[in-house]
Structure 1
Amino acid sequence: MLSAALAAAFLSSGAQAADVNMVLNWVPTADHSPYFYAKSQGWYEEAGINLTIEAGRGSGAAAQRVGAGFSQIGVADMATVLLTKGQGGDAVAIMTVYANSPQGFYWLKKSGITGPKDFPGRSIGNPPADASRVMWPLFAETVGIAPDSVNFVNVSPQAKLTSLKSGAIDITSDFYNEHDLKVREFGDDLGFVAWRDIGINPYGNSIIINGAFLNDNKELVAQFASVTQRAFAACVADVEPCLEALMSEVSGLDHDNQVDQWNRIIELMTDPTTTTVALGAFDPERMDADYKTVETYFDLEQPFDVKTVYTNEFLDEAIKMPAR
Structure 2
Amino acid sequence: MTARRRSPGLLLPLLLVAVTATACGGDGADRTTATGPGGGLDRVTLTLNWYPYGEHAPFYYGKQRKIFEKHGIDLTIRAGQGSQKTVQATGAGQSDFGWADTPALLSGADSGVRARSLGVFLQTTPSSVQFFASKNITSPADLKGRTIAGTAGDALARTFPVFLRKNNLSESDVTVQNTDPAGKIAAVISGRVDGLLGYASDQGPTMQHKAGKKVGHLRFSEHGLNFYSNGLIAGERYLSGHREVARRMAAAVSESFAEAGKAPGPAVAAMKGASEQLPPEEVLAEQFRTTLTLLHTPSTRGKAPGVNTEADWQRTIDVLAEAGLVGEPRPVAEYWDSATAPKG
Q: Could you state the TM-score of these two structures normalised by the residue count of structure 1?
A: 0.79
CA distance in 2, matches of 1:65, 1:78: 15
Q: Is the 8 A contact 1:274 1:280 kept in 2?
A: no
Match of 2:62 in 1: 38
Q: Which residue does 2:47 correspond to in 1?
A: 23
Q: Classify 1:65/1:55 alpha carbon distance in 2 versus 1 (closer, same or farther; 3 Å).
A: same
The alpha-carbon distance between structure 1 residues 312 and 27, as it changes in their structure 2 partners (threshold 3 A), is same
Tell me the distance in 1 between the aligned counterparts of 2:73 and 2:153: 29
Shift of 1:46: 5.8
Distance 2:85 2:264 in 1: 28
Between the two proteins, the alignment pairs up a number of residues equal to 307
Matched, 1:74 2:89: no
User: Which residue of structure 2 lines up, in the alignment, with residue 274 of structure 1?
Assistant: 300
> How many Å apart are 1:226 and its aligned residue?
1.9
Name stretches of at least 5 consecutive residues in structure 2 with no aligned partner.
1-31
* Aligned ranges 1:48-63 → 2 under 5 Å: 48-63=72-87
Q: Is the 8 A contact 1:105 1:171 kept in 2?
A: yes
Specify the code of the residue in structure 2 equivalent to 1:253.
P
Q: Does 1:208 align with 2:233?
A: yes
Q: 1:247 corresponds to which residue?
A: 272
Deviates more, 1:109-118 or 1:86-95: 109-118
How far apart, in 1, do the equivalents of 2:153 and 2:191 lie?
Answer: 22
> Once the 2 structures are TM-superposed, how far is the Cα of residue 160 of structure 1 from its aligned partner?
3.8
Q: Read off the aligned partner of 2:322 and give its amino acid letter.
A: T
Which residue, out of 245, 249, 262, partners 2:288?
A: 262
Give secondary structure in 2 for the equivalent of 1:31.
Answer: helix
Q: Choose the corresponding residue for 1:173, options 178, 197, 201.
A: 197
Amino acid at match of 2:222: D
Matches of 1:60 and 1:131, distance apart in 2: 10
Amino acid at match of 1:34: P
User: Per the alignment, in what secondary structure is the counterpart of residue 178 of structure 2?
Assistant: strand
Aligned match of 1:4: none
Q: Counterparts in 2 of 1:283-322, with a 5 A limit?
A: 283-298=309-324, 300-315=326-341, 317-318=343-344
Q: 1:146, CA displacement in angstroms?
A: 2.8
Contact kept in structure 1, 2:150 and 2:156, CA below 8 Å:
no
1:225 is matched with 250
The match for 2:16 is none
Aligned alpha-carbon RMSD (Å): 3.4
| Residue aligning to 1:3 | none
Distance 1:274 1:248, change over 3 A: farther
Are the equivalent residues in 1 in contact too, given 2:117–2:232 (CA < 8 A)?
A: yes
SS in 2 for 1:135: helix
Aligned-partner SS, 1:249: coil
Separation in structure 2 between the aligned mates of residue 132 and residue 59 of structure 1, nearest angstrom: 13
SS in 2 for 1:256: helix
Amino acid at match of 2:195: I
Give the 3 Å change call, closer, same or farther, for CA 115–56 of structure 1 in structure 2. farther
Aligned mates of 2:132, 2:45 — CA distance in 1:
39
Q: Sequence identity of aligned pairs in percent?
A: 22
1:192 aligned residue (217, 222, 227):
217
Deviation string 1:213-247 (CA, Å, 9 cap, x unpaired) is 11221011112112211111110111233222212
- Alpha-carbon distance between aligned partners in 2 of 1:135 and 1:196, rounded to the nearest angstrom: 12
1-structure distance, mates of 2:316, 2:146: 29
Q: Structure 1 CA distance, aligned partners of 2:70 and 2:85? A: 30
Q: CA deviation at 1:309?
A: 0.9
Q: Go from structure 1 to structure 2 and tell me whether the alpha carbon gap of 1:165 and 1:51 turns closer, same or farther (over 3 Å shift).
A: same
Query: 1:173 and 1:226 mapped to 2: Cα distance?
Result: 33
Residues 115-126 of structure 1: pairs in structure 2 closer than 5 A:
118=143, 122-126=147-151
Distance 1:14 1:28, change over 3 A: same
The letter of the residue matching 2:330 is F
**What's the CA shift for 1:33?**
1.0
User: What letter corresponds to residue 88 of structure 1 in structure 2?
Assistant: G
Aligned to 1:321: none
Per the TM alignment, residue 249 of structure 1 is displaced from its structure 2 partner at its CA by: 1.9
Q: Contact between 2:306 and 2:342, CA under 8 Å: does it hold in 1?
A: no
- Identify unmatched segments of 5+ residues in structure 1: 1-6, 319-324
